[in-house]
Structure 1
Amino acid sequence: MLIWLFALLLAAAAQDQPPQTCTLSGHAINSVTGAPLGKVEVLAEAADRDAPPASTTTDAKGNFTLVELPAGQYRLKGHRNGYVDTYYGARRAGSGGTVIALEAGQELKDAQIKLLPFGVIAGTVRDTDGEPMSGAAVMLFRQQYTETGHREVHAEAETVTDDQGQYRVTDLEPGKYFIKAEARSLWDYGIRTPVDHSAKSAEPPPALLPTVYPGTVEVTSGGRSAGIDITLQRSKVFRVTVHATAAEGLFLYDAWLYNAPPQERFGLLLKTQNRNRTGEFEFHGVPPGAYTLEVRANSEESRARMPLLVGGDMEGVRIAVGYPAEVTGHVRVEGSEKVDLAGIRISFDGGSENAGDALIQNDSSFGAGLFPGQYQVYFEGRNLKLVVKSMRAGGVDVYQKGLTITEASKAVLEIVLAPEGGQVDGVVLDKDEKPVSGATVVMIAEPGLLARPPRFVPRRDYRCIRPLPFRQRPPRRLQAVRVGRRRALCLVRSRFHEGRGDGRRSSDDRRERTQLSPVARTLMRFA
């Protein structure tokens, strides 16, 4: 009896005790010089629940301690003036770093945050005579890649030159940048040029054109790229008028002239509007060169494009806008088990300018409108253990050759899915037989089978392993991989998202070849 009462008292005391908290300590340094950093705000962000981050600040020696942390998983981030926000374990800007798993009562020491210092680009803008241009606009665009491997250019910063024509742009993340300068004379309808009233003038004076620095400027962590000088070019400019027609039920909205895709805004982009719905558009001050003319209608899916070579004034350029091509299809799953596909997306990837998608309906059908072009088609049911067995349209193997859409064409697409994907299990180890957390494993078909461009994201054909939690070593798994001969790449420092996007491997990858058959399981070990 006494023993039973004593056990009850112990259990009650244990219930009254508060849960044990954790302590996390470490230091923050400059990733380039290795110098300790004071005044760094350290944030422990909960990775497994919705909770406000815990914070502290490093001392003059870069040391920090976070106390009374609930047990759980955390991402540790450092924030400081002059540095990119950097997570613990991150090897590049924008990376989420490594998850730290804390058990009840655990005290974890020596967590090191390596902050990436911002970079700088500086230079001078001059006219064709070498005279510095004050008040010139300088714009920086950063080169990045989408999840499907297509290049995009995003505006990152803008500044104005001083009285000596000099500019300086700070707080830049590592990466590749395009730089454009212009004399603040560009407007939506062309380059604003005065009407010449000089006596006996034979031709109007040339205009200063927006000018892009040749090539890209690569900024490293803490790098200072000086002497990035730009000389604005002068040229004659011309007038272009357009006469557009629209299919019945559409009315014309606006027209564009560009010498680079609109997503790559470092090029020249001129816009005009059809305010009276007559189909007459006019561009003033167009420099000579090769352009794309694009006219859009009230429907977002209705537009027309044509190449245009400008070498002088152009009158009455004709273009017709119609409805997009109709693409319909049906999805079928092999086997007796019924699978609900309603609401799953079918995506059509035609590059940075063309894209579309459709949702599968209750009867497994789908439909979309696409512009003329070449598309890769993807089934986006990533949570279903299904693989694409075939995609065909009119006898064409769309999975391997893609879907070709022409003017006013119609396409009927048949997609067959099957629950026969292979499965790969493995553990990532370094040369010292220690687990590597945060590594990415990608499955890529052999070159002879790689007709479709790689997509380095967690999709059906190329599934990435999620980062391993800190201090854990469970095997990771790639499921529903399409049958065929493939290579597994372990990217310890993946550069696909931040760099080329062309499928080239980084210098420190590890690869192993395997053959997948239906419902096969292959154990792979990387070291």
Structure 2
Amino acid sequence: MTAVVRRVIRMGIVEILAGCGSRRHRGRSATLRWCDLFGCVNDNGGKRGRLVKGGPMVRIASAWIVLAGFAVAQAQVNVQPGLSGRGARAPQAELEAPPLKDEDYCTVEGVVVDARTQAPIRKAAVVLVGVGEANRGGAGGISDASGRFVIGRVPPGRYQISLQRNGYASNSGRAGAAGNPASLTLSPGEHLKGLVLRMTPAAVISGRVVDEDGEPVAWARVTAMQYRYLRGKRQLVPAGGATTDDRGEYRIFGLAPGRYWVSAAWTDREMGLRPLVRARTPDRIAYPDIYYPGALEPEQAAPVPVRAGEERGGIDFRLWPAQAVTLSGRLVQPGSERTVRGVMMMIAPRTRLDFVGPVSRRFAQVDPSTGRFTLTNVRPGSHVLTAVYRDGENTLYARQEIEVGASDIEGIELVLAPGITVQGRVEIDKGGADLVKLDEMRVLLQAEDQEAPFFGMSDGRVKADGSFELRNLSPGRYTIRLARLPEGSYLKSARLGDQEVLASGLMLTSSGGFLTLMVSPFGGQVDGTVLDAEKKPAAGATVVLVPEENKRHREDLFFQQTTDQNGRFSFRGVPPGDYQVFAWDKVEPGAWRDPAFLERYEEDGVKLSVKGRSQELAELKLLRTEETDL
């Protein structure tokens, strides 16, 4: 669910809620949305629709959005009790609970104000997004001229709060942003009043891009990025972007206060629209991506700090040409004479494959009649060519590492190979069969390989007898997840044949195998409250449950949640073991996966020993992060 929430918020949550009504996407807007990229999931059976069709530019844009949004979604696997990787669902008895009575619905009333001036903000969208598989609903309202809003008929449960308003930074995905509670817990029939939500004026970064002669560069892509922890690594992730106009000028708006690393990249305006990508210049030069104030690598770049409401101008770039070559070849589909229409193909520096920013990858087109491709203006170095081709229900993959020198390379052959199929079965731990409904689950395999975001996530629905099938997998290592588990359950083990692979990851080569997943409905529970320095409940704090040191390589054993309006948190479905629990006022998402970061706060964590079916209680003090940690 959280993966859905984060992507929905990134694409404009108000527009989404007003959008898909399932029948041909009622209320459809011109913006690419969830339904466009990932298929429509409607209320009539929840079946996935077809992936959006369109020209090469649509597919390229979709791929980039998937790449950025998907990588960010990876940053936090266990964000709420039973979410995302655990996808909690209430026990079967709760699943069959009767419909809510009118008196069970809740009301939320409050005011939206400017965080700096405390002045009321009108026309702010306040959206409540249900948390957990047992609460997939949502509700929202718009503030009036006095900043007040009323949201009625809200089902009881836990919700994340999203605030959107032009000229202000969105709080989406930022726990406790501007001192707000990031979530709410509503009891049946509760009428919550007096909620004060603060919005921070957005910052702007602007400047100009010119070439080596001082001429303006139009259509250059400028990206503002921030460091986030993804897949356990601290990486630059896009936070905003803009394209230069005919004067070479750009303006990136809607930024939250903070430090940004800004890059500029030359782009061909006609990229994706030509039958074949052709050389831009006859003298074989390329304009490498550049990072402010003039570095060729992000590690050498300097941050651009911005304050709330600040317009930071003068962040200028000069693009310099560098030696480049052309790569050409063809895609081969063994045993088939069919044309290869709709192939997605990219090239990326091998050392930068794990970089999430849009400047590290370039997409190419493939001539559908011949399978031939041409990549121009490629800089020397180590690169990886990858391609994916969907042929009906089957997906073919190709991958080849290539060393680029000072000369053109011709005759490259990328051989498309069929995806791998993995069959398996979900089993229930002894004594728990009556607590689990197998056909509610989905098996998710998340590729750990660096180019994985290009290919996405594979998932398979579990049948009533526990069997499942995962198709069209590319070779590589995968992390195993189960979505829509009953609340309080966890994935206990995963075996490929006789080999345990839950902790080490599932490694697929040229063949699949039989995967057996063991689910235990007897996970532990950790509840508690976070108190600030004045012993008052701290709303919007980030609470993280961290496993013992020798298990910290396992992402599935980390749990994260933000405290509700009463400073409370609750983790369910926690595998038995030893943990520490921390609460921070503000922290980069995923920073707790960094051993150096955790070491600074090791003595401040509360130690817990979680057993099956146990409930552990903890009262936490709010930790203030150092400025160097942000």
Q: TM-score normalised to the size of structure 2? A: 0.64
What is the aligned partner in structure 2 of residue 350 from structure 1?
447
Please give the per-residue CA displacement for 1:249-286, whole angstroms capped at 9, x wherever unaligned.
6864434333355963222413121321x443333443
Q: Is the 8 A contact 1:209 1:234 kept in 2?
A: yes
Tell me which residue corresponds to 2:541: 439
Q: CA deviation at 1:398?
A: 0.8
CA RMSD of aligned residues (A): 4.3
Structure 1 residue 321: Cα displacement: 1.4
Pick one of 158, 165, 168 that aligns with 1:83: 168
Q: Structure 1 residues 219 and 386 mapped into 2: Cα distance closer, same or farther (>3 Å)?
A: same
1:440–1:465: 8 Å Cα contact kept in structure 2?
Answer: yes
Aligned residues of 1:327 and 1:411 also touching (Cα < 8 A)? yes
Number of paired residues?
Answer: 475
Greater mean alpha carbon deviation, residues 309-318 or residues 210-219: 210-219
Q: Indicate whether 1:243 and 2:335 are aligned.
A: no
Shift of 1:391: 1.5
Which of residues 358, 364, 367 in structure 2 aligns to 1:271?
364
- In structure 2, the residue corresponding to 1:399 is in which secondary structure? coil
3-state DSSP of counterpart to 2:502: helix
Q: Compute the displacement of 1:381 (Å).
A: 3.5
Larger radius of gyration: 1
How far apart are 1:208 and its partner, in Å? 4.2
Cα deviation digits, residues 298-329 of structure 1 (max 9, x gap): 33631111112222211111222111222222
Separation (CA, whole Å) in 1 of partners of 2:285 and 2:490 = 59
Instruction: Tell me if 1:114 matches 2:204.
Output: no
Matched residue type, 1:480: G
Provide the secondary structure at the position in 2 that maps to 1:444. Answer: strand
Residue 365 (str. 1) matches residue 467 (str. 2): yes
Could you say what secondary structure the match of 1:420 adopts?
A: coil
Checking the alignment, whether the CA contact within 8 Å between 1:256 and 1:293 is kept in structure 2 is: yes
Q: Give 1:485 deviation, angstroms.
A: 1.0
Determine if the alignment matches structure 1 residue 306 to structure 2 residue 427: no
Tell me if 1:57 matches 2:160: no
CA distance in 1: counterparts of 2:500 and 2:371, whole angstroms: 40
- Equivalent AA in structure 1 for residue 240 of structure 2: E
SS at match of 2:144: strand
User: Is 1:321 matched with 2:416?
Assistant: yes
**1:491 maps to 2:581:** no
| TM-fit CA distance, 1:422 | 1.9
Does the CA contact (< 8 Å) of 1:119 and 1:172 recur in 2? yes
1:242 Cα deviation from its structure 2 partner: 1.5
Which residue type is aligned with residue 530 of structure 2? V
Aligned amino acid, residue 83 of structure 1: Y
Structure 2 match to 1:519: 613
- 1:258 has 2:348 as partner: yes
Native 8 Å contact 1:93 1:174 kept in 2: no
Q: Aligned ranges for residues 32-181 of structure 1 at < 5 Å?
A: 34-37=116-119, 40-41=122-123, 53=141, 55-58=143-146, 82-85=167-170, 91-92=176-177, 97=182, 99=184, 112-129=196-213, 131-135=214-218, 137-143=220-226, 153-154=237-238, 156-161=240-245, 163=247, 165-174=248-257, 176-181=260-265
CA distance in 2, matches of 1:417, 1:70: 36
Report the alpha carbon displacement of residue 513 of structure 1 after superposing the two structures with TM: 0.8
Q: Distance in 2 between matches of 1:392 and 1:72?
A: 40
CA distance change for structure 1 residues 328 and 94 in 2, over 3 Å: closer, same or farther? farther
Of 482, 491, 494, which residue of structure 2 is paired with 1:391? Answer: 494
- Greater mean deviation of Cα atoms: 42-51 or 511-520: 42-51
Distance 1:105 1:391, change over 3 A: closer
Task: Give the number of the structure with larger relative contact order, counting CA–CA contacts within 8 Å between residues 6 or more apart.
Answer: 2
Partner secondary structure for residue 266 of structure 1: helix
1:405 to 490, 500, 508: 508
CA distance 1:98–1:154, change in 2 (3 Å): same
CA distance in 1, matches of 2:377, 2:490: 53
Q: Give 1:417's match in structure 2, choosing from 511, 516, 519.
A: 519
SS of equivalent residue, structure 1 residue 526: strand
Where 2:507 maps in the other structure, the secondary structure is strand
Taking the aligned partners of 1:156 and 1:128, their CA distance within structure 2 comes to 26
Displacement, 1:24? Answer: 6.4
- The Cα shift of 1:402 comes to 0.9
Once the two structures are TM-superposed, the CA of residue 113 in structure 1 deviates from its matched residue by 4.2
**1:50-109 residue CA offsets vs partner (Å, 9 max, x unmatched):** 776363224xxxxx567999999999987665322569x973289873549799999966
Shift of 1:344: 0.7
Which has a greater percent of helix? 2
How big is each residue's C-alpha offset from its partner over 1:168-210, in whole Å with a ceiling of 9 and x where there is no partner? 4333334645422327567345464355xxxxxxxx3635455
Query: Given residue 140 of structure 1, which amino acid in structure 2 is its aligned partner?
Result: T
- By percentage of residues, which structure has more strand? 1
Q: Structure 1's 118 and 290: CA in aligned 2 closer, same or farther, altered over 3 A? A: same
**Structure 2 residue aligned with 1:206:** 285
Conserved 8 A contact 1:185-1:192: no
* Paired amino acid for 1:295: A
- Report if aligned partners of 2:497, 2:516 keep a CA contact under 8 Å in 1: no
Q: Using a 3 Å threshold, how does the CA distance of structure 1 residues 289 and 342 change in structure 2: closer, same or farther?
A: same
Distance 1:183 1:337, change over 3 A: closer
Partner in structure 2 of residue 332 of structure 1:
427
The unaligned stretches of length 5 or more in structure 2 are: 1-105, 131-136, 622-630
Letter in 2 for 1:137: A
Contact map agreement 2:112 2:121 (CA 8 A) in 1: no
Aligned to 1:448, what secondary structure does the other structure show? Answer: helix
The C-alpha deviation readout for 1:487-526, integer Å capped at 9, x for no partner, is: 12223434316x7875845989962111122333322221
Change (3 A) 1:94 1:152: farther
Alpha carbons 1:145, 1:500 under 8 Å: kept: no
Q: 1:11-35 CA deviation, whole Å, 9 max, x = no partner? A: xxxxxxxxxx999676833x3xx33
Once residues 102 and 247 of structure 1 are traced to their aligned partners in structure 2, the CA distance between those partners, rounded to angstroms, is: 60
Percent identity of paired positions between Structure 1 and Structure 2: 21
- Is the CA contact 2:176–2:541 (under 8 Å) kept in the aligned structure 1? no
Cα deviation, residue 234, structure 1: 0.9
Q: Aligned letter for 1:517?
A: K
Superposed displacement of residue 219, structure 1: 4.3
Q: 8 Å contact 2:286–2:378 — kept in the other structure?
A: no
Task: Flag the 1:79–1:486 CA change in 2: closer, same or farther, 3 A.
Answer: closer
Q: Is the 8 A contact 1:127 1:133 kept in 2?
A: yes
Contact 2:238–2:357 under 8 Å retained in 1: yes
Supply the distance in 1 between the matched residues of 2:112 and 2:613 (Cα, whole angstroms). 47
In the TM superposition, residue 433 of structure 1 has moved relative to its aligned partner by 2.4
Q: 1:95 to 1:256 in 2, by over 3 A?
A: farther
| Contact 2:388–2:397 (8 Å) recurs in 1 | yes
